[in-house]
Amino acid sequence: MAANCPGTYENIPISTGRLNANFVKQEEIGAGSFGTVYRVHQKLFNQALAVKEINMKNEKDLAKNVRELSVWFQLQSEYVVKYRNHWFEKNPDTFLTIYIIMDLCDHNLRHLLTVKSKRYNRQGDITRISDWEYLICYYLYQEVLIGVDYLHTHKPAIIHRDLKPSNILVAYTHDKLMIKLGDFGLATNHELDQSHTENVGTTKYVSPEIFRIRRYTTMVDMYSMGVICEEIFQIDSLGDDIVEDKDMLKDIGNDVHTNKNKISEFEKITLLHDGKLFIEILEAINYLHTKSTPIMHRSIQPSNILIIHHAHGRFVKLSDFGLAIEHHTESQSHTQFPNAGKYMAPEVKQSRKYGLSSDVYSVGVLAQDLFNFDINKFEYR
């Protein structure tokens, strides 16, 4: 049973020796400015869990951690690290220590990407991605997107604000690898017209508007997801042709005839909100790539991704199969398109030997358009 979240220092119940009485503290599995995470063994139920130990220096630190707990309390999803309990103890060297018991996750996405990179060893060359690596990347990214979508569709919506591989954890449940979002130290509830704190998170993954303005939305998390997409797929779009006029997504009526009216910027943002649209695009491409005879689309771009609305909801449909082709083997030769636009992979422009990974490149460029960022123009610090 989760303990109640305290409001002020005065009404905080203080425990003594509770960790050692109920748990066997084992090895450290994570550390940083947020505190230290240890593997623990729960004596009563003979269960492996994790404890986050945070030494607080003052009431400001206390308020920050109480805020994290207040957000974490609200979340009940298999895509979020499960909070179980917490308590406070006095410590002679600090103002106060908080212990947070949570489900155990053995690794994080950063570890997984390091292992993947060593296993496939393509040194960032997207043209060498194998079908197996592509499927792994697709699965990982889709799982993270589902977790972020859960936060953004929560009532009230929650902005994580610190999405990065080290905060995306990996657990094994019933022999299945599960991706779980963790570390809600910077997470915040979001209401319309609400102002938020600026200058938070790890710079590389933080949307520029967080540094410039105090008014931002859940879309700042989608910027982080764009950077994470580049890392998962090891995509570098530097050197792509610059196209000034970006194609807009087109709307489709119930009669499935193309509506040539461009949707408004407001509608575009609404459609992209929470990553749902991108998940559906990935699922559509995965359908082509996992057929008994895989199909390469070779022309994945916004104008070829259509949206159908009817009584059962909104559906993403891939269109324009004029360049699509069956892909039987890696040794198969295909047509070269030297003058193709920015969405087409370099190997399609330069070589006749390419595979399903060429569509993945297009998805990476598409992600930058959808979430309105350019990974090559943002200065990492």
DSSP 10: G
Round to whole Å and give the CA distance between 3 and 206. Answer: 32
Q: Which residue has the higher pLDDT, 296 or 250?
A: 296
Please determine, for residue 149, whether its predicted confidence score (pLDDT) is greater than 70.
yes
Round to whole Å and give the CA distance between 164 and 205. Answer: 6
* Helices first, then strands: H and E counts in the chain: 10, 17
Q: Which residue has the higher pLDDT, 135 or 82?
A: 82
**From-to residues of CATH 1.10.510 in the chain:** 107-372
Please report the pLDDT score of residue 378 as a whole number.
Answer: 44
As a whole number, mean pLDDT of residues 8-27 equals 87
* pLDDT bracket for residue 275 (50, 70, 90): low
Fold entry, domain 107-372: Transferase(Phosphotransferase); domain 1 (1.10.510)
Please report the pLDDT score of residue 52 as a whole number.
Answer: 94
Lowest mean pLDDT among 164-168, 192-196, 217-221, 318-322: 192-196
Name the pTM for this structure: 0.62
Please determine, for residue 48, whether its predicted confidence score (pLDDT) is greater than 80.
yes
Please determine, for residue 31, whether its predicted confidence score (pLDDT) is greater than 60.
yes
Lowest mean pLDDT among 15-24, 155-164, 343-352: 343-352
**Is 317 a known ligand-binding residue?**
no
As a whole number, mean pLDDT of residues 265-291 equals 67
Please report the pLDDT score of residue 376 as a whole number.
Answer: 52
Residue pair 127/347 in contact (Cβ under 8 Å)? The answer is: yes
Q: Which residue has the higher pLDDT, 35 or 210?
A: 35
As a whole number, mean pLDDT of residues 46-55 equals 95
* pLDDT bracket for residue 298 (50, 70, 90): confident
Please report the pLDDT score of residue 356 as a whole number.
Answer: 83
Please report the pLDDT score of residue 257 as a whole number.
Answer: 31
Q: What is the architecture, at CATH level 2, of domain 14-103?
A: 2-Layer Sandwich (3.30)
Summarize pLDDT for 207-238 with one digit per residue, the tens.
776 666 666 788 888 889 988 998 998 875 44
Please report the pLDDT score of residue 47 as a whole number.
Answer: 94
Taking alpha carbons only, the member of 68, 270, 285, 63 closest to residue 152 is 270
Range among 114-118, 126-130, 172-176 with highest mean pLDDT value:
114-118
**From-to residues of CATH 3.30.200.20 in the chain:** 14-103
- pLDDT above 90 covers a percentage of the chain that reads 24
Please report the pLDDT score of residue 236 as a whole number.
Answer: 59
Please report the pLDDT score of residue 280 as a whole number.
Answer: 82
Please determine, for residue 273, whether its predicted confidence score (pLDDT) is greater than 60.
no
